[in-house]
Amino acid sequence: MSNEIPSGAAYAAIEAATESLIAEYVQANPKSAAALEEAKAAGIAGGTNRASIYHSPFPLTFVDAKEATAVTADGQKITDMLGNFTAGLFGFSPGPVKDAVNEAMDHGHALGGAPNVYEARVARAFTTRFPSVDLVRFTMTGTEANIYAINTARAVTGKNKFLIYDGAYHGAWIHGGKTAGPLDSPYEKITVPYGDADLIVDAIRANADDLAAVLLEPVVVTPMSYLKVVSPKAYLQKIREACTEVGCALIFDEVMTSRLAPGGVQELTGVTPDMTTFGKYIGGGFPFGAFGGTKQWMERHDPLHPETINSGGTFNQNALCMAAVAAVFEQLWSPEQCIAHNARGDQLRDAINQLAKQHDVPCQACGAGSLITLIWQNCRVINDDDADTQKHRVDIAALPAVFQTSALFWFHMLQRHDILAGSPKMNYLTLSTVLKSEDYERFLAAMAEFFTTYKEPLALLAAETAPGLAPAQDELALLEMFTTPYTPPV
Ligand code: PLP
């Protein structure tokens, strides 16, 4: 029966429904539209300083926010389930962070040009929590943390190249393969597809002579969706062993994923990298990044080391940021708080999947702990049959209708239910600790209403993405379709 569905019928129906919601959105948000125009006129290229938060027709401007509620320029109060792409783990302006920063401000905010009293407290949190970290250094962002880590590996090994996944994102200047662009750092990169440890080990061995590091997120990587499904242990372990064999550093980018367990994904899987990078939520809203590892890899950051790397950075130990991070670790994110929060995320994911089953709609909530990505397809996204092997399969049906449904869901949840369900480009729900049980219940009720309202287009989508029917992937074409690069004025 499904073969008789004309190709693209789901897309046409879902797109038409989205267009009508977008027309309402434009009507309802004139002040946000004007704010973007003002920013453009003021000299910001495209009106935004961060490409990932731009979307068509224009993003919402927030004018106020507290805990999990943001107020838009046009006065709508919305429940935030985007969580600033993982950085907003503790909601807007968390109290303990505010108090700690105010106190630091009262004592001379930069305590400039000298070590401050917060650094050791922050370092202690890293070295006690994360298995790979014996020594640590701080940065301002996750991008910088990755660049510092790569360059540390290059200095220690005397080699040049690093290996990453095709489509990986490790910050503004570090993309893998098909997603790399003109801003990428001019390193020699080797890119490998996610999922087949044997193939990755072959690439590591083939480049042994000049390979300084393997940099990867210990979760599934696709350029189309932020899918934080933890890679199987056997798969990561095989890559771990190959790095040891050829003498290159294994670096885990845990900028996003370290929130999944008290000791990050390295603790969850028991696979310990040589170095790890951090950022995002750890700053409690302030800019922060960190990289750390074993003595062998990190000791050359010591200014007294005979071959010191001499690493600088004016704001790398900024007192306000350090005070914020100390408050995060000491008051907001104990191991118990971390475990309880991720368990709530698991419950919500299960509840969404159950609801989708009851309504017989092609919606899969994937991810781990407090990181949930909705993928709108019928065929399985993750093939867990291989979980104990060295292969891990991810099958995202690269159809415009799949990604168009993310947009439809986002506009619908915003306009009918005052909920910010990720972004229109991807329904990436990164749950904050300030969301309450009532918020979760309201979200599930809103989802049920969405499933009912769009029963027919979702049935078309189910048929077009049935197991075995999903066409070959063309992620690149879809990336172009669903990301909105800056267009210079004519
Ligand atoms: N690494 C990963 C996995 C990320 O997702 C990001 C940001 O989204 C970064 C690094 C870069 O962090 P930042 O934006 O703080 O530079």
Nearest CA residue ID for atom 6, ligand 1: 171
Q: Is 280 considered catalytic here? A: yes
Q: Indicate which atom in ligand 1 lies nearest the CA of residue 168.
A: 3
Q: Is 187 considered catalytic here? A: no
The answer for 247, left when phi > 0, alpha when psi is -120 to 50, beta otherwise, is left
Q: What three-state secondary structure class fits 387? A: coil
Q: How far apart are CA 250 and CA 240, in angstroms?
A: 7
Residue carrying structure tokens 């799949």: 402
Residue carrying structure tokens 């569905």: 5
Q: How far apart are CA 199 and CA 156, in angstroms?
A: 26
Nearest to residue 269, comparing CAs of 431, 387, 133? 387
Q: What three-state secondary structure class fits 277? A: strand
pLDDT at 6 over 50: no
CB 292 within 8 A of CB 258: no
CB 394 within 8 A of CB 220: yes
Nearest CA residue ID for atom 8, ligand 1: 171
Q: How confident is the prediction for the chain on average, in pLDDT? A: 93
Task: Give the pLDDT score at 397.
Answer: 85
Nearest to residue 322, comparing CAs of 366, 287, 270? 287
CA dist 224 → 49, 91, 482 (Å): 21, 26, 9
The pTM is what?
Answer: 0.95
More confident site: 478 or 21: 21
pLDDT at 233 over 50: yes
Please state which of the ranges 87-96, 180-189, 331-340 shows the lowest mean pLDDT: 180-189
User: How is residue 214 written in tokens?
Assistant: 């393997």
Q: Is 440 considered catalytic here? A: no
Task: Give the pLDDT score at 386.
Answer: 66
Q: How far apart are CA 302 and CA 397, in angstroms?
A: 49
d(CA 448, ligand 1 centre) in Å? 33
Q: What three-state secondary structure class fits 441? A: helix
Q: Which amino acid appears at position 443 of this protein?
A: F
The predicted model gives 168-188 an average pLDDT of 89
d(CA 172, ligand 1 centre) in Å? 7
C-beta of 254 in contact with ligand 1 (< 6 A) = no
pLDDT at 484 over 60: no
